[in-house]
Structure 1
Amino acid sequence: MAESNPPLTSSAPPADTEPLQDPALLRRLLRAKDRMDAASHEAWPVDRLATVSGVSEAHFARSFKRAFGIPPHRYLLTRRIEQANTLLRDTALSITEIAFATGWESLGTFGRVFRDINGRSPSAMRREAQAAVRQLDRVPACVLKAAQRPDLTIAVLEKRRREAKGTLPTSTKEVS
């Protein structure tokens, strides 16, 4: 009589999508995230971040994405674009100065990525921000910052591919 074995499939989600449960690892990842926040203008390759966290590069990259929902490079791009938005709105620095001050090595790359993420060029963003200054004077800075945070839940190149195919959901499609 042959035994019937139950199927080996599991309804549990894959391990790489489950939230991190190790508090020590989360503290180390937060240390790296805080360093990126404090010096987003610096280069932060994965090996440097892994060293700050005290884990291997592959483990760091996997764990960071599990903990914060986006890869470390995309997180750094978010911070740089946020800082650029603030400088465009609040200073008279040239766009070139802002690009280099926020960590970009090329003005062209800064402009292209900025446009891909925000849906408009840095100069157009500056004009709109300056026109809206009076209306936003009464809104707390923390609320403005959260509302103006760039959406990088999908990669910029993936966003371009979806726009070209017309499959980007309307909630994340950039406005021209």
Structure 2
Amino acid sequence: MPFREMHNARQSTPSSASVDDGALQDPALLRRLLRAKDRMDAASHEAWPVRRLAEVSGVSEAHFAHSFKRAFGVPPHRYLLTRRIERATALLRDTELSITDIAFATGWESLGTFGRTFRDITGRSPGAMRVEARNATAQPGPVPACVLKAAQRPDLTIAVLEKRRRVAKGTFRPSIEEEVS
């Protein structure tokens, strides 16, 4: 087949984006992805490498990682970080556990990594977050707790390393939450 005919044949096939969109419409695949997401939610303190999540979902690792990101808007690792930070924030607010105990209870292997990642994501250290959260709950307002929790959810639309790189270059645009505080 001459080059022009091959080129034209390629252009007439559906793009990979439209094929991927169709794959996400598959209810069986969405159920499998939700099964993996539910497992991460139930045990966010455990290690969840893509290989393990793919096994739970019954799909290949590459297919799982790509499909998860398309379905939920974030890669699996970033989703897990969000759950861990949310859980840590709740424990800081609602318990007397030490910050070290909270770090290990939420799945971090190092207190330093927990503190650095927590600060990168929330903009505050775990200790400062504990003080702020307790002061905020001491003065309950008319806003329901579920709405407050949703507003306090970490903003992980960009990777932590990318956020650090942008801050260092001075090109980082803070999220709405960071501008308000």
The equivalent of 2:171 in structure 1 is 167
Question: Unaligned stretches of 5+ in structure 1?
Answer: none
Alignment partners' CA distance in 2, 1:144 and 1:108: 28
The equivalent of 1:82 in structure 2 is 86
Give the CA deviation at 1:174: 4.5
Mean alpha-carbon deviation: is it higher for 37-46 or for 161-170?
A: 161-170
Partner SS for 2:157:
coil
CA separation of 1:165/1:13 partners in 2, compared to 1, >3 Å: closer, same or farther? Answer: farther
The equivalent of 2:56 in structure 1 is 52
CA separation of 1:172/1:16 partners in 2, compared to 1, >3 Å: closer, same or farther? Answer: farther
Report the RMSD for the aligned CA atoms in angstroms: 2.6
Question: Unaligned stretches of 5+ in structure 2?
Answer: none
CA separation of 1:16/1:132 partners in 2, compared to 1, >3 Å: closer, same or farther? Answer: farther
Alignment partners' CA distance in 1, 2:108 and 2:19: 31
Find out whether 1:118 has 2:122 as its counterpart. yes
Within 5 Å, give how 1:22-33 maps onto structure 2: 22-33=26-37
Q: How many residues align?
A: 173
Find out whether 1:157 has 2:172 as its counterpart. no
Give the CA deviation at 1:171: 2.9
Mean alpha-carbon deviation: is it higher for 153-162 or for 133-142?
A: 133-142
Alignment partners' CA distance in 2, 1:83 and 1:60: 25
Which of 94, 104, 107 pairs up with 2:108? Answer: 104
**What CA deviation, in whole Å up to 9, does each residue of 1:115-147 have, x standing for no partner?**
000001000111111111123365323212211
| TM-score normalized with structure 2 length | 0.85
Within 5 Å, give how 1:108-147 maps onto structure 2: 108-136=112-140, 138-147=142-151
Alignment partners' CA distance in 1, 2:54 and 2:26: 16
Report the residue type matching 1:86 in the other structure: A
Q: Which one has a larger percent helix, Structure 1 or Structure 2?
A: 2
Q: Give the share of equivalent positions with the same residue, in percent.
A: 76
Alignment partners' CA distance in 2, 1:34 and 1:40: 10
Give the CA deviation at 1:16: 8.1
